[in-house]
Amino acid sequence: MPVVIYKPERRVIVDGVERVISKHDQWYVGNTSRDFHCGGIVIKKELLKPGKIKIGNHELIIIEASFLDEYKGIRRDAQIITRKDLGFIIGFCGLTKDSIILESGAGSGAATIMFAKLCKKVYSYELEQKNIDVVKENLTKLKIKNAVVEHKDMYDIKSVKVKNTDLVLLDLPEPWRALESARKAVKVGGYIVAYTPSITQAAKLVNMLPEYALHERTMELIDRDWRIKGEAVRPVTADIGHTAFLTILRRIL
């Protein structure tokens, strides 16, 4: 049983001033059948189970790993779509347990996995064989059965076999080249979402929009962290993550 180990921060008061002597840390342990080394500590395998333990000066808290912890530990060779953006797409497009999704490209499969854990079926198209291998490895590791990754070119309408999906996610450099493929794959009333790092890509897509697609929005989701410590309450300096622009289209014809 995989676990997560938390090492809480340790502070001492020296001459009236509070000092951090050991920072908060955490580790995912996929294999608990051998001892685990972390931050200069060795944890014997028989201790690698949920609960509170003490090793030397360090109090550690161990919990059973959840799907999320395993998900965070997947192999990531390509850049992945963040959970913030995936969550937004799921919420905004009204996906449900009955939804069927086509995404392209698969990258490392981060979107594939999250969709598969919440929806009915995921088809994932990808051109690069090495990405396909990574996705397959990740799907196996997380025991996902309702997703398939296929070696296909989304820009080529003939390669698209799936139909009537609820969402087509385009994580491609030139999403405008996939508009006819997307139409073939998505049902009327379903969504097409393009995920593009540059605003110029989003602009080009929107300016080339065919009549069948209603442009609902082009937006970015900015994620702003706050630091709270007693009376000190402020945004974290230099830490707003721009990830990408999302262009959301609905097939209406």
User: Rounded to an integer, what distance in angstroms lies between the CA atom of residue 176 and that of residue 170?
Assistant: 9
What's the min distance (Å) between Cβ of 244 and a second copy?
A: 8
12 in contact with a second copy (CB under 8 A):
no
Question: Which has the closest alpha carbon to 224: 232, 210, 234?
Answer: 234
Which residues lie below 8 Å from residue 158, measured CB to CB, with a gap of 6+? none
Place of tokens 């995989």: 2
DSSP SS3 for 31: coil
226 in contact with a second copy (CB under 8 A):
yes
What's the min distance (Å) between Cβ of 151 and a second copy?
A: 26
User: Which of 58, 136, 141, 243 touches a second copy (CB under 8 A)?
Assistant: 243
Residue number, 67 or 163, with CB nearest to a second copy: 67
User: Which of 12, 21, 42, 240 touches a second copy (CB under 8 A)?
Assistant: 240
Interaction with a second copy in 20-79: which residues (CB under 8 A)?
50, 52, 61, 63-69, 71
User: Rounded to an integer, what distance in angstroms lies between the CA atom of residue 207 and that of residue 162?
Assistant: 27
User: Which of 2, 6, 10, 137 touches a second copy (CB under 8 A)?
Assistant: 6
Interaction with a second copy in 86-145: which residues (CB under 8 A)?
86-97, 114, 117-119
Which residues lie below 8 Å from residue 28, measured CB to CB, with a gap of 6+? 2, 3, 4, 65, 69, 70, 72, 73
As to burial, measured by CB atoms within 10 angstroms (0-12 exposed, 13-18 middle, 19+ buried), residue 71 is middle
User: Which of 31, 57, 140, 237 touches a second copy (CB under 8 A)?
Assistant: 237
Interaction with a second copy in 190-219: which residues (CB under 8 A)?
190, 197-203, 206-207, 214, 217-219
What's the min distance (Å) between Cβ of 125 and a second copy?
A: 22
188 in contact with a second copy (CB under 8 A):
yes
172 close to 153: Cβ distance less than 8 angstroms: no
Interaction with a second copy in 144-183: which residues (CB under 8 A)?
166
* Count, residues near a second copy per rule CB under 8 A: 75
